[in-house]
Amino acid sequence: MTLYLNFRTAGIGGGITDAYMLEGDGTANPPALSAVQWPDVARRVAGKDVLIGVHGFNVNYQRGAQAFGLLDAYLNLAASEVLVGVLWPGDFWIPVVNYPFEGSDAMDCGKRLALFCDKYFAGAQSVSFVSHSLGARLVLETMSHLGRRARMICLMAGAINNDCLTQEYHGAASNADRIYVLASHGDSVVHVAFQIGDPISNVLDHDHAFFTKALGYEGPPLPAAPPVLFPWQIQDNFSYGHGDYLPPTTNPLMASRVGDYILRAFRGQAQPRPGAL
């Protein structure tokens, strides 16, 4: 059974609530999830290496639960390891048009996730994070408030400004032992849509420079200092699009390569040759 932290008040869109833990089969239709009793929450992660997964923009409750249920099955973690998927309301009944407003929701959930981790995950052996798309902002906001260091952060297809690790979230980046970034020049969402939506978002909640490139397209500016680990650019001939990182995807081979990358990053193992998954 996969574990989840739910910030949602509705299956699509809706508001934000303080996190509570769910468990069950996220791949069922609809997801077969039930609440974990509060006295059991801390015990589920005590002494374990915890990997917290955060999906991105325009992912509803069912799709998020499915993605982490499938990822959990693929990773097949050891008994001393556990994946916890974060379900947050970065979507709306009308897709895309709400993107400029979702950065603030990601930041709100990030602050709440930090509080939850400090309270209930204090007994974990370690805490790591993996994110997709706008989930990068949620993770980095969490790291800005988290009362412990993260063993690892992996930011995939980050829909966030590419200088975020040295500017807006410099403090968050310094709170992690290792940071992995996956970027693709084949990702039209972070190349085109981000350039349109991000300036509008920045007007509403000004927190970084205008018209910067996306982390998930170009990677961080060079030279990148530790704890950011080079390389991050996926080979162009692999043609990774925005939907090719987390399952389900139309290209299972791509998702399996990403799954292997996540697992190696989580365990601090050597990654494949430069630029390849």
Domains of the chain in start order, with CATH, are 2-267 (3.40.50)
Strand 81-87 to 152-156 pairing? unpaired
Could you tell me the pTM of the whole model? 0.92
The DSSP annotation for the chain comes to -EEEEEEESSSSS--EEEEEEEEEETTSSS-EEEEPPHHHHHHHHTTSEEEEEE--TT--HHHHHHHHHHHHHHH---TTEEEEEEE-----SSTTTTHHHHHHHHHHHHHHHHHHHHHHSTTSSEEEEEEETTHHHHHHHHHHH-SS-BSEEEEES--SBTTTTTTTTHHHHTTBS-EEEEB-TT-HIIIIIHHHHHHHHHHHS--S-TTPPBHHHH-SPSSPPTTB-S--BPPGGG---TTSSSSS-S-HHHHHHHHHHHHHHHHTPPP-STT--
Per-residue confidence (pLDDT) for residue 202, from 0 to 100? 42
Distance of CA 276 to the CA centre of its chain: 20
pLDDT of residue 265: 96
pLDDT at res. 26:
98
Rounded CA-CA distance 94/208 in Å is 27
Residue with tokens 């239709």: 29
Residue that is written with structure tokens 């995939």 in the block: 156
**Smallest Cα–Cα separation from 59: which of 249, 205, 188?**
249
- Tell me how far CA of residue 71 lies from CA of 154, 163, 246, 252, in angstroms: 15, 29, 7, 11
Q: Which residues contact 192 (CB under 8 A, 6 or more apart)?
A: none
Ordered per-residue pLDDT tens for the chain, 277 residues: 999 999 999 999 999 999 999 999 999 999 999 999 999 999 999 999 999 999 998 999 999 999 999 999 999 999 999 999 999 998 864 444 334 445 889 999 999 999 999 999 999 999 999 999 999 999 999 999 999 999 999 999 999 999 999 999 999 999 999 999 999 999 988 887 676 544 434 433 444 444 478 999 999 998 888 999 988 999 999 999 999 999 998 888 898 999 999 999 999 999 887 677 8
Q: What is the predicted pLDDT for the residue at 205?
A: 44
Q: What is the DSSP string of 136-182?
A: HHHHHHHHHH-SS-BSEEEEES--SBTTTTTTTTHHHHTTBS-EEEE
- Supply the pLDDT for residue 198: 45
